[in-house]
Structure 1
Amino acid sequence: MQIHPLITTSEALAELCERLSKAEFVCVDTEFMRENTYWPELCLIQIADDKEAAAIDPLARDIDMSPLLDLLVDNEDVLKVFHAGGQDVEIIYNLTGKTPHPIFDTQIAMMAISQSEQIGYSNLVESFLGLQIDKGARFTDWSRRPLTDRQIEYAIGDVTHLSKIFPKMLQRLIKTGRGVWLNIEMEKLADPANYKNDPDLSWQRIKAAGRNPAMLGRLKALAHWRELEAQDKNIPRGRIARDETVADIASHPPKTQADLAKVRGLSAAWKDNEIGRRMMAALESAKPLTDQELPPRTPRGAPLGKEGALVADLLKLLLKIRSREIDVASRLLARSEDLELLAAGVRELPLLQGWRYEVFGKDALDLVEGKTAFAVVKNKLKMAHIDEIGGSEPDAVE
């Protein structure tokens, strides 16, 4: 594979992108800094196909990044391959208002061909290529210039290794017939809605107890205010106020600005400064959420009770057994909360639809309905239909 020197000119980048635009896939990674900023600062982009690889310096003077961004978000003929690519996709969305498409994430794909739920990149490389990655440059300040040869080599390695792993992973997916399992998961990753920093929706990220419309209205107003403050100052939103502080103020609003001095998590100076005044103005403008704005209630069946809780435990045991039998990450098959809902009587669930129903959901439903039972077969715990183990229909779990 040809490894190019660090690309710092528009001409070299345009030539690279012209060649890569004809590739079947490109592997992409980014290096960025965001510890002290609201918006992540893009410091380096690495890209490779199966023939060449390069690192691109977006901080280089006068470099035109549009050929690369066009390749990533507008060229539908080239598959974009990432590993744990959520933050990389977010950066590209912030630059373009679009997400890469079509997209493939090797961390997600590993869930369909192994029991690994969130495999790290180093473990992925070791598993497929038998290589140990040098982690010495992992904590680099990527915004500093010049970058050393070792830093650039480390960064490019993320995509050169991935370009060798992806075809191997694709072969395993084709062999097992599980590629279709990942379509929905990949589309979720590419959904632009995941990356919008809409101040009006920022309250939905904050955990708050209850569904009181007035309290949630205050939470919405405060979160909106905090988001605008953080964007304007380009600092992490937690530097303005932590989530738990915002939720506490929404639940127990101060009557006057002077009361802000008593709020845990806020500076006492807020009792008479401008940012404190802006927070109080946000609180005063808050309106209760309408019925349409209230978050949907979590679907519920009958209360679980002791029997239902035991059924949920049996479903979780079945999930572990099935995950081991077919060598797939259990989280890809079903979520723990969905199993509890199934035990409580809910039937409109992802695990009872599509391929998940065929692979796991049908047996899970049979277990709930008393059509199957656990048995030890050749020293292994398995689930079988009642007629297969020669027993009578089991009593209800108590």
Structure 2
Amino acid sequence: MHIHDLITDSAALANLCARLADSPFVAVDTEFMRENSYWPELCLIQIADENEAAAIDPMAPGIDLKPLLDLLTTNEDVLKVFHAGGQDIEIVHNLTGKTPHPLFDTQIAAMALGQGEQIGYSNLVDAWLGVALDKGARFTDWSRRPLDKRQIDYAIADVTHLVKIFPRMLEKLKKTGRGEWLDQEMERIADPFNYENPPELAWQRIRIASRKPEVLGRLKALAAWREREAQTKNLPRGRIAKDETIADLAGNPPRQQADLARVRGLSASWAGNDIGRRMMEAIAAAAPMPASELPAREDRKPGLGKEGALVADLLKLLLKIRAKEINVAPRLLGRSDDLEALAAGQREGLSILEGWRCDQFGRDALDLVEGRLAFAVVNGKLKMTRTEGENA
């Protein structure tokens, strides 16, 4: 494989992308910094196919990233391979409003091959290639220039190894018949909605005990205000105000701006500055949350009382048993929310009752809930048995 020097000019990047456009797949990774910003700062992009690999400097003066972004988001003939690619995909979405497509995430694929729920990249490389990665550049400040050879080599290794792993992983998925299991998961992580941060929905990330419409209305208004402030200033949300401060203000709103000087977690200067004024305006404009937006009570899931909770626990046990039997990560097979909904009586719209999940787990889960399947201890081991009525 040919490893290019660091690409810092538009012509070299365009030529690289023209060649990669004829490849069946490319491996992609990014290096970025986001500790001090709302938007991740893209510092390096690594890409490779089976013939060549390169690191691209997006911070190089005048470089035009359009050929690369077009390759990632509009070329449907090239599969884009990531490992735990959520943040890489988010960066592409921030730049283009689109996500890479089609895509393949090796961390998710590893779940279907019994390698755990969140296998790290170094463990993946060790498991598939027997290579121990050099971790010496893990804590590099990727925004600083110049980057030295060791840093660039470290970054490029993230895609050169992935190029070797992907075909082997794909072959094993084909042999086990599990490739189609992943289609829905890959489409899910490629959904652009996952990478949007509409301020109006920011309140849903904040924990608060109250369900009073007026409190939740203020929470929604304050969270949206904070999100816009963070986006405008390009600062982490917590630098504007922490979640607990937002929740406290929603439940105990100050009467006037001067009261902000006594709010824990806010600077006393907010009592008289513009950001404090904007916060007070957000509180004043808040309307009670309509009933249609109120979050569901955890203890009011349909039919999930004490008995339902016990059934949900049995379903989780069945999930562990079945996942072990077929050697896949439990989280790929079924999620807790679906199990609780099934225990509560829901039958529609559950992923565990659709497609391959139904075949591998959901049908037995339904039988357990409806009394056609039971646990038994045979020779000291936990087994699943059909009830007499089912066998009759």
Bin for the TM-score computed over the shorter chain: over 0.9
Correspondence 1:138-177 to 2 at 5 A:
138-177=138-177
* Residue in 1 that maps onto 2:226: 226
Correspondence 1:233-244 to 2 at 5 A:
233-244=233-244
Q: CA deviation at 1:380?
A: 3.8
SS in 1 for 2:322: helix
Q: Does 1:353 align with 2:357?
A: no
Q: CA deviation at 1:235?
A: 1.0
Distance 1:18 1:303, change over 3 A: closer
Task: State the alpha-carbon separation in 2 of the partners of residues 216 and 308 from structure 1.
Answer: 29
The residue identity in structure 2 corresponding to 1:329 is A
Task: State the alpha-carbon separation in 2 of the partners of residues 280 and 260 from structure 1.
Answer: 9
The residue identity in structure 2 corresponding to 1:236 is P
Higher mean displacement: 250-259 or 381-390: 381-390
Task: State the alpha-carbon separation in 2 of the partners of residues 115 and 130 from structure 1.
Answer: 15
Contact 1:115-1:323 within 8 A present in 2 as well: no
* Residue in 2 that maps onto 1:282: 282
Contact 1:115-1:330 within 8 A present in 2 as well: no
C-alpha deviations, 1:299-352, integer Å up to 9, x for none?
A: 8232431x4333222211111110100001101111223323322322232212
* Residue in 2 that maps onto 1:395: none
Contact 2:222-2:283 within 8 A present in 1 as well: yes
* Residue in 1 that maps onto 2:371: 370
Task: State the alpha-carbon separation in 1 of the partners of residues 115 and 52 from structure 2.
Answer: 32
| Identity among equivalent pairs (%) | 69
The residue identity in structure 2 corresponding to 1:226 is R
Contact 2:304-2:340 within 8 A present in 1 as well: no
Q: Does 1:117 align with 2:117?
A: yes
C-alpha deviations, 1:72-116, integer Å up to 9, x for none?
A: 011111011100111001111111111111111111111111151
* Residue in 2 that maps onto 1:16: 16
Listed as ranges, the gaps of 5+ residues in structure 2 are none
SS in 1 for 2:383: strand
Task: State the alpha-carbon separation in 1 of the partners of residues 8 and 162 from structure 2.
Answer: 23
Distance 1:91 1:274, change over 3 A: same
C-alpha deviations, 1:141-181, integer Å up to 9, x for none?
A: 00111101000000000000000011111111111111111
* Residue in 1 that maps onto 2:340: 340
Task: State the alpha-carbon separation in 2 of the partners of residues 388 and 114 from structure 1.
Answer: 35
Task: State the alpha-carbon separation in 2 of the partners of residues 380 and 153 from structure 1.
Answer: 50
Listed as ranges, the gaps of 5+ residues in structure 1 are 393-398
Q: CA deviation at 1:124?
A: 0.6
* Residue in 2 that maps onto 1:246: 246
* Residue in 1 that maps onto 2:41: 41
* Residue in 1 that maps onto 2:384: 383
Task: State the alpha-carbon separation in 1 of the partners of residues 134 and 304 from structure 2.
Answer: 52
Distance 1:47 1:338, change over 3 A: same
Q: Does 1:2 align with 2:2?
A: yes
* Residue in 2 that maps onto 1:396: none
Task: State the alpha-carbon separation in 1 of the partners of residues 220 and 35 from structure 2.
Answer: 25
Higher mean displacement: 372-381 or 81-90: 372-381
Distance 1:267 1:356, change over 3 A: same
Distance 1:205 1:342, change over 3 A: same
C-alpha deviations, 1:269-309, integer Å up to 9, x for none?
A: 2222221111001111112233444446678232431x433
Higher mean displacement: 230-239 or 67-76: 230-239
RMSD: 2.0
Higher mean displacement: 258-267 or 104-113: 258-267
SS in 2 for 1:143: coil
SS in 2 for 1:279: helix
Contact 2:262-2:268 within 8 A present in 1 as well: yes
Query: Structure 1-normalised TM-score?
Result: 0.93
The residue identity in structure 2 corresponding to 1:248 is D
Q: CA deviation at 1:117?
A: 0.5
C-alpha deviations, 1:177-234, integer Å up to 9, x for none?
A: 1111111211111111111232222222222334433222211211121112112221
The residue identity in structure 2 corresponding to 1:158 is D
Task: State the alpha-carbon separation in 2 of the partners of residues 343 and 93 from structure 1.
Answer: 37
The residue identity in structure 2 corresponding to 1:351 is I
Contact 1:333-1:351 within 8 A present in 2 as well: yes
The residue identity in structure 2 corresponding to 1:65 is L
Query: Structure 2-normalised TM-score?
Result: 0.94
Q: CA deviation at 1:364?
A: 1.1
Contact 1:43-1:143 within 8 A present in 2 as well: yes
Higher mean displacement: 76-85 or 370-379: 370-379
Contact 1:261-1:267 within 8 A present in 2 as well: yes
Task: State the alpha-carbon separation in 2 of the partners of residues 313 and 201 from structure 1.
Answer: 31
SS in 2 for 1:382: strand
The residue identity in structure 1 corresponding to 2:105 is D
Contact 1:84-1:105 within 8 A present in 2 as well: yes
Contact 1:304-1:343 within 8 A present in 2 as well: no
